[in-house]
Amino acid sequence: MSTLPDLESLRLLVDVERLGSLGQAARAAGIAQPSASKRIALLERRLGLTLLERTPRGSTLTSQGTMVAAWAAQVLAAAEELMRGAEAVRHARAAHLHIAASMTVAEYLLPRWLGELQSREPQVQVGLEVQNSAEVARLVGGEAGGIELGFVEGPSVPQGLASRVVAADRLVVVVAPGHPWARRRTPLLAAELAATPLVVRERGSGTRETLDRALAGHAVAAPRLELGSNAAVKGAARQGSAPAALSGYAVEGELATGRLAEVATAGIDLERRLRAVWRRGRPPTGPAAVLLAIALGAARG
């Protein structure tokens, strides 16, 4: 198959037809007339047709050139339609933001960030997957690439993901108001917390990973209950099933109303960082970049 003519040469030919001479077409294209003449000569060789009649007074289209110019105008119109269509698809895709977030971030931080995003980008439609941190990392790192930005709460960043810290958090040991620990006067040490059956989040959650790291090196008792949401863990703790360790964001309301009591600790590292994550080498763009900027701004504020 012969090499297809380039669009700029076709546009030059159409302008010769429209403007009446090669010199005028060259000026419209912003090139020197000799360069324009070379382009048309190359186009003639590719098509095997004589397109210009060259005389001392100037160059004008031949009858073959006039026919080719009409076809070239159709090609250029089709190319412009292609670009308009691609832009429309690009904008439609940009107007849909698919993100994933761990439960703590989704429940206590993301609503405020999304509200700010909607005020800045009202046309954006957001789809949110709420999962534990391990599943969020899997969705963001997946080859399908449907989730451009995620938010996790584990102390570590999975391989293959880049991250930025968007908030600081601390796990809080809580008990029902009637639990003996609610009245203790000495801080709880790591060994005692580890030896106590607790109500915990499921493995794969950032809360569980932070707790496991904090108690590493101690003999850890089997959990009293292992539950899949912050709400379920809080409910079990309020019923007096056992102590629990949850995000300070998650228990703020219960501590304020007295439905749960905080137990002071000493020598237990329950601090953690909440992070935005994305595939390494693919930084967020469009609405995802705006959302990331909002989250980072909230962290600085």
Element (H, E) at 261: strand 261-263
Give me the pLDDT at residue 55, please: 81
Give me the pLDDT at residue 245, please: 96
The parts of the chain modelled with pLDDT lower than 70 are: 1-2, 85-95, 143-145, 301
Give me the pLDDT at residue 159, please: 84
Q: Which regions of 52-112 does DSSP assign to beta strands (E)?
A: 52-55, 58-61, 96-101
**Cβ neighbour number for residue 15 with a 10 Å cutoff:** 21
Q: Contact, 285 vs 103, CB < 8 A? A: no
Give me the pLDDT at residue 1, please: 42
Q: Contact, 215 vs 193, CB < 8 A? A: yes
Tens of pLDDT along 251-299?
999 999 999 999 999 999 999 999 999 999 989 988 999 999 999 998 7
Distance CA 9, CA 19 (A): 15
**pLDDT averaged over every residue in the chain:** 89
Phi, psi of 76 (to 5 degrees): -65, -40
Tens of pLDDT along 122-147?
888 899 999 999 999 999 987 655 78
Give me the pLDDT at residue 23, please: 87
Distance CA 46, CA 162 (A): 49
The pairs formed by 157-160 with CB atoms below 8 angstroms and a separation of 24 or more are 157/275, 157/277, 158/134, 158/277, 160/279, 160/280
Give me the pLDDT at residue 144, please: 56
246-266 b/e (C-beta count within 10 Å ≥ 16 → b): bbbbbbeebeeeeebbebebe
Dihedral, CA atoms, 42, 45, 50, 56, nearest 10 degrees? 40
Phi, psi of 100 (to 5 degrees): -135, 145
Q: Contact, 140 vs 284, CB < 8 A? A: no
**Cβ neighbour number for residue 177 with a 10 Å cutoff:** 12
At 264, is the secondary structure helix, strand, or coil? coil
Give me the pLDDT at residue 87, please: 63
